[in-house]
């Protein structure tokens, strides 16, 4: 799916959730650069793997006036397939450029604090490349993992103890949500990113994310 199609889908999702017209509810659409590990001549995950998770993120963030569109795809060398230590995560900062959110799809992601555990995703600040931060999704990552990590990226570093909250580990059948304080941090963080040029929105909403 090209980014133009994803932008149209994001607008439709926003309108469907809000019950308003697409024109009135045009979201701030943020570009995603997706780096997928290549093993031999095959990616570790098909294109549909990340497209489905982006679509889910668009559902979750639609009420807050934010959407995401894949604007670029890149093959990631096989040496990054299994991220075992902090240094492995840090090295991904070499691929990060200003202007977009970078997402890395890898085969496996080990918890660096509890090595016996494998992680589904993470928002990571590289120590080796100043200012570079990004999200990583492993093949274990379920439908909501990308949205959860994007929540971290967009100003909500803390986890929530409230079941059903996007930043909680406990999700039920309902669409995950952000509370009022999380929405406020999302709005402030997004405005800062756009003003500084760290993220160049594909299209900016008229009034920004809901507070």
Please indicate, yes or no, if residue 22 is contained in any of the structural domains. Answer: yes
Please indicate, yes or no, if residue 169 is contained in any of the structural domains. Answer: no
- Per-residue pLDDT, 25: 60
Give how many domains the chain has, as a whole number.
1
Q: Measure the CA–CA gap between 141 and 168, rounded to whole angstroms.
A: 15
Structure tokens at 118: 């494998």
Q: On the CB side of 193, how many CA atoms lie within 13 Å of its CA?
A: 26
Please indicate, yes or no, if residue 126 is contained in any of the structural domains. Answer: yes
CATH number for the domain spanning 52: value is: 3.40.390
Q: Measure the CA–CA gap between 139 and 160, rounded to whole angstroms.
A: 24
Please indicate, yes or no, if residue 72 is contained in any of the structural domains. Answer: yes
**63 touches 19 (CB < 8 A):** no
- Per-residue pLDDT, 13: 42
Where on the phi/psi map is residue 143: left (φ > 0), alpha (ψ -120 to 50), or beta? alpha
- Per-residue pLDDT, 11: 47
**147 touches 177 (CB < 8 A):** no
Please indicate, yes or no, if residue 140 is contained in any of the structural domains. Answer: yes
- Below-50 pLDDT ranges, the chain: 1-4, 6-24, 205-211
Domain that includes residue 84, residue range: 3-148+190-196
Please indicate, yes or no, if residue 14 is contained in any of the structural domains. Answer: yes
């Amino acid at each position: 799916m090209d980014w133009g199609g994803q932008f149209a889908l994001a607008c439709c999702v926003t309108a469907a959730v809000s019950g308003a017209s697409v024109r009135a509810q045009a979201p701030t659409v943020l570009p995603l650069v997706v780096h997928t590990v290549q093993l031999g001549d095959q990616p570790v995950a098909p294109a549909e793997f990340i497209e489905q998770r982006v679509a889910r993120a668009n559902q979750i963030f639609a009420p807050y006036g934010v959407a995401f569109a894949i604007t670029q795809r890149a093959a990631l060398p096989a040496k990054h397939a299994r991220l075992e230590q902090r240094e492995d995560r840090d090295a991904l900062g070499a691929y990060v450029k200003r202007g977009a959110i970078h997402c890395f799809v890898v085969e496996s992601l080990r918890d660096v604090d509890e090595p016996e555990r494998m992680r589904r995703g993470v928002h990571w600040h590289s120590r080796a490349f100043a200012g570079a931060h990004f999200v990583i999704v492993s093949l274990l990552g379920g439908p909501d993992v990308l949205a959860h990590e994007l929540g971290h990226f967009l100003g909500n570093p803390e986890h929530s103890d409230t079941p059903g909250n996007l930043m909680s580990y406990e999700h039920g059948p309902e669409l995950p949500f952000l509370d009022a304080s999380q929405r406020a941090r999302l709005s402030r963080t997004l405005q800062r990113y756009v003003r500084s040029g760290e993220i160049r929105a594909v299209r900016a909403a008229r009034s920004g994310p809901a507070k």
